[in-house]
Structure 1
Amino acid sequence: MRASIELALSRAEGPKKLLDAKAIGASTDAYFNRTQDIVSHFGESRVTYALFIRRPVIAATGFLSVWLENVAREQGIDIDFRAVFPDSSWVGAGEPLAYITGAFSKLAPLETLALQRMGACCVAAHNAYQMSLILPHVAFLAMDARHCAGDMMQEMMAYGAAVGSEAARRDGAKGFIGNANDVTAPFFGRSHGLGTMPHALIGYAGSTVRAAEMYREVYPNEDLVVLVDYFGQEVTDALAVCRRFPDLAAAGRLSVRLDTHGGRFLEGLDPQESYAVLERHTPGTIRRYRSDQELRNLVGTGVSAAAIWRMREVLDQAGFPHVKIVASSGFGTEKCMAMVDAHAPIDVIGTGSFIPNQWNETYATADIVAYDGVARVKVGREFLLGRYEAHPTDSQGRGVK
């Protein structure tokens, strides 16, 4: 997996953008350009920056490192990058993630863009790690691209999910096994994105079964994942598809995807029946005190734990025990925790909810900690000096030059 991530980083478009000095100068904060002018006028200094985030994260600095490498190559300058923690390592709040050393006049304009390329990746990695650990026996599919603000964010979020997933796999979780588009699939060791059909195809086909038939005709050798909520008949349509493709169902090559929106219950459920479903399969789950959001995730509208249990129940009763259940719709850490409590029988979760929910949590910060080899940092940031003073010339890591 590590090799896949490194290869994908080398090919990602984001680290190839904004490399020349003019483009960087136009995109950075003005005071960094003015700092460059002043330092160029009064004399160069070799400085070291420490980069950190104020919350715990999973280290995911590779996106930044590759970008700096490309900047150094493009501009013909020396930039020494030292990752304090290897990618996929846990990092405590405020601990320096990396040190960047070089000529002050060359590094100053890079600060704004460097911070953009680190903070969000690390928080996304942390979120993906947490989600994977919460449900270690469930495979996750990254479906973040539609929620991203542009192609660079799309790459950063997929990279973060891949790094966080790598950390989770070391702890025994399945983690993210792939994603939904081709351009970031290499981060997950794949050449292509995963996925079969959107709701629009079912509308086009006129029925869920017909959409499955169309897909099967065009892609006869692929496993089949069918959305079953388009007509509000999840149970009816799921069973109809299983009966139409009994061989796929028996071989475990057919999955039904639940994506019921939050405005209604899965077919056949209401509040009372949702409680009854959980009582049948996981007694006691809803007897403990629950917040409103926990109750919604367990027995509410949309893709609740009760909805998932109900689908598993009807599939098994109809003789389709090998048909898998794919769940999507808002599966962040909180909803994943509810699924653990309910022992929900999920095979795969499709989600983009590892994207940081509160963007201010992604804000990374940089401070210079040394000028010409002399340790010096603004008051209040002395905590950044520890690792620098322990290894002031250590250039282990990615060794950007």
Structure 2
Amino acid sequence: MIHHVGLATDLYELTMAQSYLEHGKTGRAVFSLFVRKLPERRNFLVSAGLETLMGLLEKFRFGDTELRYLRSLGIFKDWFLDYLREYDPFRCQFYALPEGTIFFHNEPVLQVEGSLPDAQILETLVMNVIHFETLVASKAVRSYLVAGGKVLIDFGLRRSHSPLAGLLAARASYLAGFMGTSNLQAGMLYGIPVLGTMAHSFVMVFEDEEEAFRAFAESFPDRTVLLIDTYDTLEGAKKAIKLMKEGIKVVGVRIDSGDIAQLCWEVRDLLDREGFSHVKIVVSGGVDEEDIERWVSQNVPIDILGVGTKMVVSADAPYLDIAYKLVEYEGKPKFKLSPGKATFPYKRQIVREKEGGFFVKDRVIRYTEEGLVQKVRLPVPSLKEARERLMEQLSQLPPALRSLQKAQYPVEIE
């Protein structure tokens, strides 16, 4: 997934670690990963990426290749490179929200406890992995909440910020309620159902649209979904109907452009009038949760939605104000007082209060074993379990927080 994982970090993590060791700062430390403030258009966040992180930590080592590079920089001392050669991230202990847990601002998503140099070195990787999957899962779940039970598919790989980002976004969106992905790598690695149709290039390479449809149906007789908007959407629908009247099985038709709502109504009418009410309508093309909410409220006859670009880059909120801060050292509280960046001391726990089956308030307290934060033990719960956890918690979320409209939720920090 990532080569030379030990070097997937910032230079200053290692320079600080060397200086800590030189000056005897090796006591027990606790670092906390949290989001200072929710994005303007988010009512809550979804914890994601823990399984990915634990997998990467198993590879977070400094071997000959990594150490040779670090030595070439002329920055580090030989004894520190020897320390790195023996470095093992699992000398630290991890306390985290299980994946699929709903959380809010200033709540600990992950806490790392270990010697100060050991725990400091992990900052960059921890932030990077948890941030990205949490970002995408928190965006994707908004589509799930407004979809009204319609099938959602991740179509985002081609416009993700890298193949790795596309892979992890597929994972995060599946956790958040999507039913499948077009990403074959995600299908193989995570067991996510894979789905797909055809591109406009397939239609254009044939002499006419009908010939293209026939060819695809011949190649895939049991999973024929036809892209009907290459030239004229309604004419494309009529050609699909012609094939079906001849006995060719068509599972669905896809519309990727134009006035989606109007076209769906007209295509649905054509299909139903000819007795093909079982044929699904698939919609794609820049779809986001705002589109989905509008179409669902208008009862637009869409069965399946391909959601891509705006989800995998979290277009309306492309980053979280996430931080990894020292909160405890040698049993003493550590915190910042910087304006706008103040932090809270000590390892912490989240206690969630409920009334009538719904969340009503979170309290963030000094750590005890009872609460949402759990000590991480390997193997961590599976992606399927994380998805089930989120579905259960969404059912307990106050209706106002399930909306795309901004709502507040009380978090008390003791």
* TM beyond 0.5: yes
For residues 217 and 54 of structure 2, what CA distance do their matches in structure 1 show? 43
Identify the range of structure 1 (103-112 vs 89-98) with the bigger mean alpha-carbon deviation: 103-112
Equivalent residue, structure 1, for 2:54? 65
For residues 361 and 110 of structure 1, what CA distance do their matches in structure 2 show? 20
Considering fraction of residues, name the structure with more helix. 1
CA-to-partner distance for each residue in 1:303-328, whole Å, 9 max, x for gaps? 43222222212221233211110001
Equivalent residue, structure 2, for 1:382? 344
Equivalent residue, structure 2, for 1:229? 229
- Aligned to 1:245, what secondary structure does the other structure show? helix
- Which structure 2 residues correspond to residues 350-389 of structure 1 after superposition, within 5 A? 350-352=306-308, 353-355=310-312, 356-358=314-316, 360-379=318-337, 380-382=342-344, 385-387=347-349, 389=366
1:396 aligns with 2:375: yes
1:338 maps to a residue whose letter is: R
For residues 131 and 186 of structure 1, what CA distance do their matches in structure 2 show? 24
- Aligned to 2:335, what secondary structure does the other structure show? coil
Identity %: 22
- Aligned to 2:179, what secondary structure does the other structure show? strand
For residues 114 and 390 of structure 1, what CA distance do their matches in structure 2 show? 20
| Alpha-carbon distance change, 384 to 199 in structure 1, aligned in 2, over 3 angstroms | farther
Equivalent residue, structure 2, for 1:134? 146
Identify the range of structure 1 (143-152 vs 387-396) with the bigger mean alpha-carbon deviation: 387-396
1:256 aligns with 2:253: yes
Structure 2 residue aligned with 1:96, among 108, 115, 131?
108
Equivalent residue, structure 2, for 1:106? 118
2:376 maps to a residue whose letter is: G
2:282 maps to a residue whose letter is: V
1:19 aligns with 2:5: yes
| Alpha-carbon distance change, 391 to 363 in structure 1, aligned in 2, over 3 angstroms | same
CA-to-partner distance for each residue in 1:1-53, whole Å, 9 max, x for gaps? xxxxxxxxxxxx25xx4423xx24xx41x332221121010121221111112
Contact preservation (8 Å) 2:31, 2:326: yes
For residues 143 and 263 of structure 2, what CA distance do their matches in structure 1 show? 20
CA-to-partner distance for each residue in 1:182-234, whole Å, 9 max, x for gaps? 1012476346x3212111111112322222222222233x3111111111x11
Contact preservation (8 Å) 2:328, 2:345: no
Equivalent residue, structure 2, for 1:168? none
For residues 115 and 154 of structure 2, what CA distance do their matches in structure 1 show? 39
Contact preservation (8 Å) 1:81, 1:400: no
Contact preservation (8 Å) 1:257, 1:327: yes
- Aligned to 1:362, what secondary structure does the other structure show? coil
Contact preservation (8 Å) 1:256, 1:323: yes
For residues 97 and 248 of structure 1, what CA distance do their matches in structure 2 show? 55
1:35 maps to a residue whose letter is: M
Structure 1 residue aligned with 2:279, among 315, 318, 323?
323
| Alpha-carbon distance change, 45 to 395 in structure 1, aligned in 2, over 3 angstroms | farther
Structure 2 residue aligned with 1:35, among 16, 26, 29?
16
For residues 365 and 106 of structure 1, what CA distance do their matches in structure 2 show? 18
Equivalent residue, structure 2, for 1:79? 92
For residues 236 and 374 of structure 2, what CA distance do their matches in structure 1 show? 59
Equivalent residue, structure 1, for 2:80? none
Q: CA RMSD in A?
A: 2.7
TM-score (norm 2): 0.72
Contact preservation (8 Å) 1:140, 1:177: yes
For residues 315 and 202 of structure 2, what CA distance do their matches in structure 1 show? 30
For residues 28 and 62 of structure 2, what CA distance do their matches in structure 1 show? 19
For residues 400 and 111 of structure 1, what CA distance do their matches in structure 2 show? 22
CA-to-partner distance for each residue in 1:302-361, whole Å, 9 max, x for gaps? 243222222212221233211110001121111111112211111100111322114553
- Which structure 2 residues correspond to residues 175-214 of structure 1 after superposition, within 5 A? 176-186=178-188, 189-190=191-192, 193-214=194-215
Gaps of 5+ in 1: 1-12, 166-175, 261-301
- Aligned to 1:34, what secondary structure does the other structure show? helix
Equivalent residue, structure 2, for 1:241? 240
- Aligned to 2:236, what secondary structure does the other structure show? helix
For residues 132 and 187 of structure 1, what CA distance do their matches in structure 2 show? 23
| Alpha-carbon distance change, 359 to 140 in structure 1, aligned in 2, over 3 angstroms | same
CA positional deviation for 1:128: 1.5
- Aligned to 1:241, what secondary structure does the other structure show? helix
1:50 aligns with 2:32: yes
Identify the range of structure 1 (125-134 vs 106-115) with the bigger mean alpha-carbon deviation: 106-115
For residues 315 and 113 of structure 2, what CA distance do their matches in structure 1 show? 32
1:344 maps to a residue whose letter is: V
Contact preservation (8 Å) 2:141, 2:176: yes
- Aligned to 1:343, what secondary structure does the other structure show? coil
CA positional deviation for 1:110: 2.5
Equivalent residue, structure 2, for 1:299? none
For residues 276 and 172 of structure 2, what CA distance do their matches in structure 1 show? 36
CA positional deviation for 1:57: 0.8
| Alpha-carbon distance change, 161 to 389 in structure 1, aligned in 2, over 3 angstroms | same
How many residues end up aligned between the 2 structures? Answer: 325
For residues 241 and 95 of structure 2, what CA distance do their matches in structure 1 show? 54
CA-to-partner distance for each residue in 1:91-121, whole Å, 9 max, x for gaps? 1122111111222223323312221111121
Equivalent residue, structure 1, for 2:270? 314
Contact preservation (8 Å) 2:264, 2:302: yes
2:180 maps to a residue whose letter is: G
- Aligned to 1:95, what secondary structure does the other structure show? coil
| Alpha-carbon distance change, 395 to 339 in structure 1, aligned in 2, over 3 angstroms | closer
